[in-house]
Amino acid sequence: MFRQWKLLSSHCLKFSQTKKFCSASSSYKETKIRVLEHDINYIETLGSLEDAHPIFFIPGAFGSIEMDFTPIMHQFNKEKYKWIAWDPPGYGKSRPPTRSFIPEGYECVYEQDVKYAATLMNILGYKRYTLLSWSAGAITSILMANRQAENISGIIMWGYKFFEPKTIPLIQAMKRVGLDTMIHESRRTQLTKMYGEELFLKMWDGATDEMIKMACSQIYQKGGSFQKFIRNVQCPALVIHGLKDSVVDVSDAKHMNSALKNSRLHLMENGTHNLHLRETKEFVKCIENFIDNHVLNQTQ
């Protein structure tokens, strides 16, 4: 089902247009680096202790560092943890090329993201780290926890939705009614600014086509063979769900939690689909408690 690949740890190209900016206690570097055949935009904290635990942030559909990481990173502990985030190929500043939602040779684009994410972290020299993944980015986390098990200390996810054949009419309706109805105005404004209206409409069509394919797939539909990958995850896992999430029902979070062997479920009463942006303090406290009590304990 998946291609085999070899991680490349050398011959990476760093661009000169590195951005550095400071907070009260730490500074950050945002730059691009050559990963396989693409130029990948990433950000990481600087000045952390050598033994700070690395946490790698993986955004959801259309997400980026600019929209989903930089607005909240000032609330992260920069001494105990080393924070890394990226724009997956075709998202944010990791363009060109345009995001290919159903790349040739893969069941979905998230399988391809695994290759680039794992290679990026290898190039940057991170040998063991925790994955922090939103929405569809959880697919990348689950696959990495299988393919790169020796590198993954823990996984944290929120907002992941399982697809089923019965959801296809809903997805088709989403495609027909378009962005104005399906995406909140503030988020839509950000996305249009990032990608431009024409490209974003094209990406919306590609994303909904991919969702339909996944809903029909014997792999990614609820109960499909992707379940084996979920059950095979050995590291500690945390599933967070916002009870005011209008996109994903709490049953999906409970299903994911029960399928993972070593998992905990945290429900946020006021959490929405983008709870990391709206309930950031509770979100950060939750993930840091999980890492301290369940991830770091197993690695010491």
Residues 6+ apart with CB under 8 A from 242: 158, 159, 267, 268, 270, 271, 272, 273, 275, 279
139: exposed, middle or buried (C-beta count within 10 Å: 0-12, 13-18, 19+)?
buried
Selecting among 53, 241, 273, 276, the annotated active-site residue is 273
State the residue for tokens 């760093």: 14
Q: Is 92 left (phi over 0), alpha (psi -120 to 50) or beta?
A: left
Selecting among 135, 141, 153, 263, the annotated active-site residue is 135
Are 72 and 276 in contact, with CB atoms under 8 Å apart?
Answer: yes
Are 59 and 137 in contact, with CB atoms under 8 Å apart?
Answer: yes
Cα gap 221→212, rounded to integer Å? 10
> Catalytic: 273?
yes
- Single out the residue of 120, 53, 40, 62 nearest to residue 80, CA to CA: 53
DSSP bridge pairs for 131: 56, 155
Q: What is the 3-state secondary structure (H, E, C) of 175-198?
A: HHHCHHHHCCHHHHHHHHHHHCHH
Are 211 and 108 in contact, with CB atoms under 8 Å apart?
Answer: no
Residues 6+ apart with CB under 8 A from 282: 268, 271
Q: Over the Cα atoms of the chain, what is R_g?
A: 18
Selecting among 87, 245, 252, 276, the annotated active-site residue is 245
Rounded to the nearest 10 degrees, what angle do helices 168-177 and 197-216 cross at?
170
State the residue for tokens 């969702």: 211
> Catalytic: 258?
no
Residues classed as catalytic: 135, 245, 273
